[in-house]
């Protein structure tokens, strides 16, 4: 459980994060979105206790990260934007060090290291020096490092950045399999990633929260934008008027090369009527589909409306 | 305690996994041994020089070999300590591993003290290696053991003070070279600031690191000198802690 309350961080006169509040329960996977410099990394650094906030509180499983850092930090696994690796150590040595410094119990250490090596697909390279590994493997070592203390809160700052498509899919599957009994916060630029992994979305811009939504609700909203896209071969005069004449159509916007964006009245199903019209007038149906607004559009809308 | 031990272990591993520690130890040993040989040669020549025969009180192994040998070691330490400490914290910042350390359930003072202890162990190894020459001298001659012992205590305190200044310099930057230059500059200044006055007579003389070493090399362990070095060590480590802590607030 992560509870962020009224978080504010100022660097001199620059406000990096302003009055940010959200609450995550066990099993939540939060997608943390925002343009570059929106304050994502700053927020994550405050949550992990790397830097103190100017104002506000963060509670990890009910423990205040600022008042009781040693106890709270034991429950956190954190992958910073650049994985914090000692390039002169082998994967084994490094994970052993991280387990020790995160105070994993001696009895559990060996099995934890074995578990994360397996889970992150590192078993084959465990004896290799980290400096000799490829970027994808280094990223995995970074994730393994965040998992080694079996954290109940996992914080990942752009975990799939710089990986090839296959590795991205693997890491996504990994993150999905890790949620469940954990709370996960991940920041990313890749919007489809959020749709794939996350159960909740927070969008921030210039340090302020502009949208907080559960993803089920969000994608429901995305699908039901209601507009239809119709494309026909005959693009002559009067087609628009004919479409307007269909019962239930409240707006038609002609696009290029025979495309029309059609807005029906609220709750009216017009597709059958539309098709009948097209066929009867021999307009040559090429395409008819619901217009789904993507997360990109929601993102852009959220950010630009904030700007106004 | 376990975290402290973990930090020390990793730092030592890091020293000895790279050639750096070995190069430092070899350079240190070669230079100090070369000078030891020169001083010993000088001593042997003086023995047969008629003009020195009248000053038998002055003509002994301590004054002519051990004392200048320790003096040489202190100068070599001045040159080498910045190389030992330069990476300690600067490197953590550069490799982003500082983010791992400072989000781990470890206190900052444990991190600082762990790193200091690791560099201290390297210093002890250096001093032990240098004692091989003294050991040979003990077998074939009879230098005053008390003065040798107090001289080593002094060298240890001197070196430890250098290390704490070096760690502070390393905490100020993420560039190892800059850290080395800063610590060398500060140490040289601390050395030269009172070089012409002695410790009793002036403030600058008291501040100077090397003035406090002289008593040790003569066989005296004085409380004021020990307090001076311990204060300098504490100051260096405290400033390191403060610099790391204040960085979080920026």
Per-residue pLDDT at B53: 66
Tens-place pLDDT, residues A93-106: 999 999 999 999 99
ipTM, interface predicted TM-score of the complex: 0.88
Q: What is the CATH number of the domain that holds A100?
A: 3.40.50.300
Q: Is B249 on the interface with A (CB under 8 A)?
A: yes
Tell me the shortest Cα–Cα distance from B111 to chain A, in angstroms.
10
User: Which residues of chain A make contact with B18, given a CB cutoff of 8 A?
Assistant: 88
Contact B105 A83 (CB under 8 A): no
CATH code at A279?
Answer: 3.30.70.100
* Best residue in A63, A66, A86, A98 for a mutation probing chain B (most B CBs within 10 Å): A86
Pairwise CB contact (< 8 Å): B101 & A70: no
Asked if residue A120 and residue A33 are part of one domain, the reply reads: yes
Chain B's closest residue to A75, CA to CA, is B105
Q: Do A85 and B98 touch (CB under 8 A)?
A: no
Q: Which residues neighbour B201 within 8 Å (Cβ) at sequence distance 6 or greater? A: none
Identify whether A10 is part of a domain: yes
Instruction: For residue B210, give Cα distances in angstroms to A48, A154, B74.
Output: 45, 52, 9
Chain A CB contacts of B248 below 8 Å: 50-52
- A interface residues, B as partner, C-beta within 8 Å: 11, 45, 48-52, 69-71, 73-74, 76, 78, 80, 82-89, 93, 97-98, 100-103, 145
**Do A84 and B10 lie within an 8 Å CB cutoff?**
no
For the segment B187-242, what is each residue's pLDDT rounded down to a tens digit? Answer: 999 988 876 666 566 777 778 888 888 888 888 898 989 999 999 999 999 999 99
Question: pLDDT tens digits, chain A, 308 residues: what are they?
Answer: 899 999 999 988 888 999 999 999 988 999 998 888 888 999 999 999 999 999 999 999 999 999 999 999 999 999 999 999 999 999 999 999 999 999 999 999 999 999 999 988 899 999 999 999 988 899 999 999 999 999 999 999 988 877 788 888 888 888 888 877 899 999 987 777 888 888 888 988 888 888 787 777 766 666 555 778 888 887 777 788 888 888 888 888 887 778 888 888 877 788 888 888 888 888 888 888 877 666 777 777 777 765 44
For residue A280, being part of any structural domain is answered with: yes
pTM: 0.85
Cβ–Cβ below 8 Å for B105 and A70: yes
- Asked whether residue A12 falls in the same domain as residue A143, the answer is yes
Flag whether residue B56 sits within 8 Å of chain A, measured between CB atoms.
no
Q: Is residue A266, in this structure, part of any structural domain at all?
A: yes
Q: Would you say residue A97 lies in a domain?
A: yes
**CB atoms B97 and A78 under 8 Å:** no
Is the same domain home to A268 and A175?
A: no
Confidence of residue B158 (pLDDT cuts 50, 70, 90): very high
**Which one of A195, A222, A249 terminates a domain?**
A222
- Indicate whether A235 and A216 sit together in one domain: no
* Domain tally, chain A: 2
Shortest Cα distance from B104 to chain A (angstroms)? 6
Q: Which residues contact A84 (CB under 8 A, 6 or more apart)?
A: A142, A145, B95, B96, B97, B98, B99, B100
- Is position A301 within any domain? no
Is residue A307 assigned to a domain?
no
For B14, the closest chain A residue by CA position comes to: A88
Model confidence at B56, pLDDT cuts 50, 70, 90, reads low
Answer yes or no: do A50 and B248 touch at CB < 8 A.
yes
Residue B105: predicted pLDDT: 94
Q: Is there a single domain that holds both residue A35 and residue A132?
A: yes
pLDDT at A283: 84
Q: Report the side by side order of strands in the sheet with A153-157.
A: A76-79, A153-157, A183-187, A29-33, A200-205, A208-214
What is the rounded average pLDDT for all residues in chain A? 86
Q: What is the pLDDT of residue A68?
A: 92
Residues A123 and A260 in one domain: no
Of B2, B9, B248, the CB nearest to A52: B248
A137 and A276 fall within a common domain = no
Same domain, A149 and A245: no
Residue A193 lies in a domain: yes
Residue ending a domain, among A191, A207, A222, is A222
pLDDT single digits (tens) B20-41: 899 999 999 999 999 999 998 8
pLDDT digits (tens, 9 = 90+) for B58-83: 677 888 888 899 999 999 999 999 99
Task: Mark yes or no for CB contact B99/A84 under 8 Å.
Answer: yes
**Secondary structure (3-state) at A147:** helix
How would you label A20-54 residue by residue, b for 16+ Cβ within 10 Å and e otherwise?
bebebeeebbbbbbbeeebbbbbbbbbbbbbbebb
Burial class (CB in 10 A: 0-12, 13-18, 19+), B156: middle
Contact flag B103-A78 (C-beta cutoff 8 Å)? yes
Residues A77 and A170 reside in one and the same domain = yes
Q: Is B17 on the interface with A (CB under 8 A)?
A: yes
A305 located within any domain: no
Helix H, strand E, coil C: the string for A156-189 is EECCCCCCCHHHHHHHHHHHHHHCCCCEEEEECC
pLDDT tens figures, B78-99: 999 999 999 999 999 999 999 9
Judged by CB atoms within 8 Å, which residues 74-113 of B form the interface with A? 95-107
A170 and A72 within one domain: yes
% of residues, chain B, pLDDT over 90: 64
Same domain, A58 and A81: yes
B3 close to A (CB below 8 A): yes
Task: Say whether both A238 and A159 belong to one domain.
Answer: no
A252 neighbors A244 (Cβ within 8 angstroms): yes
Chain B residues within 8 A of A93 when measuring between CB atoms: 13
DSSP SS3 for B232: helix
Domain range holding A49? Answer: 2-222
CB pair distance less than 8 Å for A86 and B250: no
């Amino acid at each position: 459980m992560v509870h962020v309350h009224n978080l504010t961080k100022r660097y001199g006169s620059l406000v990096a994060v302003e009055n940010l509040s959200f609450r995550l329960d066990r099993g939540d996977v939060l997608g943390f979105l925002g343009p570059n410099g929106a304050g994502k990394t700053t927020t994550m650094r405050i949550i992990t206790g790397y830097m103190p906030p100017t104002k506000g509180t963060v509670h990890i499983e009910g423990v205040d990260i600022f008042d009781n850092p040693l106890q709270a930090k034991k429950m956190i696994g954190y992958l910073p934007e650049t994985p914090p690796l000692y390039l002169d150590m082998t994967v084994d040595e490094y994970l052993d060090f991280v387990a020790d410094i995160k105070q994993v119990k001696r009895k559990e250490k060996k099995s934890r290291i074995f578990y994360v090596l397996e889970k992150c697909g590192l078993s084959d390279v465990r004896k290799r020096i980290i400096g000799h590994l490829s970027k994808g493997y280094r990223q995995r070592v970074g994730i393994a490092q965040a998992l080694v203390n079996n954290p109940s809160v996992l914080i990942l700052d752009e975990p799939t950045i710089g990986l090839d498509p296959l590795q991205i899919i693997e890491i996504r599957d990994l993150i999905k399999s890790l949620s469940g009994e954990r709370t996960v916060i991940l920041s990313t630029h890749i919007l489809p990633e959020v749709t794939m992994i996350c159960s909740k979305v927070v969008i921030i811009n210039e340090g302020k929260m502009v949208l907080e939504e559960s993803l089920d609700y969000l994608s429901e909203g995305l699908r039901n934008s209601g507009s239809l896209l119709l494309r026909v071969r005959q693009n002559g005069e009067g087609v628009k008027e004919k479409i307007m004449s269909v019962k239930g159509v409240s707006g038609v916007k002609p696009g290029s090369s025979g495309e029309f964006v059609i807005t029906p009245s609220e709750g009216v199903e017009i597709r059958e009527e539309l098709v009948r019209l097209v066929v009867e007038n021999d307009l040559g149906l090429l395409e008819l589909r619901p217009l789904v607004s993507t997360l990109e559009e929601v993102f852009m809308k959220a950010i630009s409306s904030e700007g106004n | 305690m376990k975290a402290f031990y973990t930090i020390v272990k990793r730092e030592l591993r890091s020293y000895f996994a790279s050639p750096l520690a070995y190069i430092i130890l070899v350079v240190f040993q070669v230079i100090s041994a070369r000078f030891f040989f020169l001083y010993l040669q000088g001593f042997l020549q003086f023995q047969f020089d008629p003009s020195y025969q009248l000053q038998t009180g002055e003509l002994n192994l301590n004054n002519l070999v051990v004392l200048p040998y320790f003096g040489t070691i202190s100068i070599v330490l001045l040159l080498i300590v910045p190389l030992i400490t330069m990476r300690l914290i600067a490197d953590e910042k550069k490799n982003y591993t500082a983010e791992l350390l400072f989000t781990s359930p470890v206190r900052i003072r444990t991190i600082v003290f762990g790193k200091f202890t690791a560099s201290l162990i390297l210093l002890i190894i250096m001093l032990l290696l240098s004692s091989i020459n003294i050991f040979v001298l003990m077998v074939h001659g009879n230098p005053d053991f008390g003065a040798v012992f107090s001289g080593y205590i002094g060298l240890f305190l001197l070196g430890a003070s250098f290390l704490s200044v070096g760690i502070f310099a390393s905490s100020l930057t993420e560039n190892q070279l800059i850290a080395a230059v800063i610590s060398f500059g500060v140490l040289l200044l601390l050395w030269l600031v009172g070089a012409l006055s002695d410790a009793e007579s002036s403030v600058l003389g008291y501040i100077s690191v090397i003035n406090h070493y002289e008593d040790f090399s003569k066989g005296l362990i004085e409380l004021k000198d020990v307090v001076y070095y311990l204060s300098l060590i504490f100051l260096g480590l405290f400033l390191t802690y403060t610099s790391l802590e204040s960085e979080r607030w920026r």
